[in-house]
Structure 1
Amino acid sequence: MTYKFNVMTQEQAENIAFQWHYDGDYSFYDMEADEEDLDEFLSPEERGNTTFAITKDMELVAFFSVSKIADGIFDIGLGMRPDLTGKGNGIEFLRAGMNYVQSEFNSEKITLSVATFNQRAIKLYRKGGFKDVETFKQNTNGSTFEFLKMEYTC
């Protein structure tokens, strides 16, 4: 069965925001960890029609967002349900997302940013063909963290 991308409903956003909790350092990715991110995620206007609930076999397994940066360049954000992480599901999900962006948005380049402590995700993105671009500091979750910007040329 394949991943299905549908515009996220309010019920799905609330489920992800309040029910998905990651272990240890990965709790950084809990929606409730940053009030501004939480407010944005829960707002139907902010999510618009470019934040998707991902289902597999009719079960909510992930979310995926797409933002147009420039002509042909799209930035993505993604998250997998906590109980599915670290079990080898990432590459299939990442490739499904990349294929979706290429087919639905006619992308030439896909970018993403990931916290540098998240070596598990960085390894996955590199395996998927993303290249390191630069590191930068960003204020989030009540502190300043280092992120790695990565890109994939379609």
Structure 2
Amino acid sequence: MTALGPLALAPLTRDQAVEVCTWRYPAPYDCYDMTDADPDELADPASGFHALTAGGRLIGFRSFGPDGRVPGWAYDDTALDTGGGLHPDLVGQGLGREAIRAGLTYGRSRFAPTAYRMTVAGFNERALRVVRSLGFERVGRFRAPTGVRYEVLVRPER
């Protein structure tokens, strides 16, 4: 539970997807902007996107599956890719750990993966610190076609 209330995940609705597509992050985090995303695709259950809410309010999202992959790495199916984001106004307020933990718990009950994999921008020290604190270990680094360096981290399921 956060100061905002208990965290919950549910499939992303179209209205929530439209809202996520308006979020803009300050540089260098603007590589996480989803302003070019199609809300209908995000809301399609096959996309793997889920709303992260606190007290019924949309505070972020989590994704499960291929959407968590970044072009430039040789991904395989040995782990479930997961990613996500918080509303730009909530970034840097210490919510990341609980947001990711809620996603992992939800993913465990819904997908039962043998391992999780996250791909995190190398400059995003806050996210890397949180992900490592949750038991993820780096298995590689690469530069995406956009020029951004990424780290690939994996955590076996317990």
- Please indicate the TM-score interval, normalised by the length of the shorter structure: 0.7 to 0.9
Between stretches 53-62 and 94-103, larger displacement belongs to 94-103
Q: Which of 149, 153, 157 is the aligned partner of 1:150?
A: 153
Q: Which amino acid aligns with 2:54?
A: K
CA drift at 1:14: 1.0
Which ranges of 4 or more aligned residues in structure 1 deviate by more than 6 Å? Answer: none
Between stretches 48-57 and 75-84, larger displacement belongs to 48-57
For structure 1, list consecutive stretches of 5 or more residues without a partner in the other structure: none
The answer for the alignment partner of 2:30 in structure 1 is: 27
CA drift at 1:48: 2.2
CA drift at 1:53: 0.9
Matched, 1:8 2:12: yes
1:27-106 to 2 correspondences below 5 Å: 27-32=30-35, 35=36, 38-39=37-38, 42-43=40-41, 48=46, 50-67=48-65, 70=77, 73-106=79-112
- Give RMSD over aligned pairs: 1.9
Q: Which amino acid aligns with 2:16?
A: Q
Contact 1:102 1:108 in 2 (8 A): no
For structure 2, list consecutive stretches of 5 or more residues without a partner in the other structure: 67-75
CA distance in 1, matches of 2:42, 2:81: 19
CA distance in 2, matches of 1:127, 1:98: 13
CA distance in 2, matches of 1:104, 1:45: 17
TM-score (norm. length: structure 2): 0.82
Higher strand share: 1
CA distance in 2, matches of 1:25, 1:122: 15
Q: Which amino acid aligns with 1:2?
A: P
Identity of aligned residues (%): 29
CA drift at 1:129: 1.0
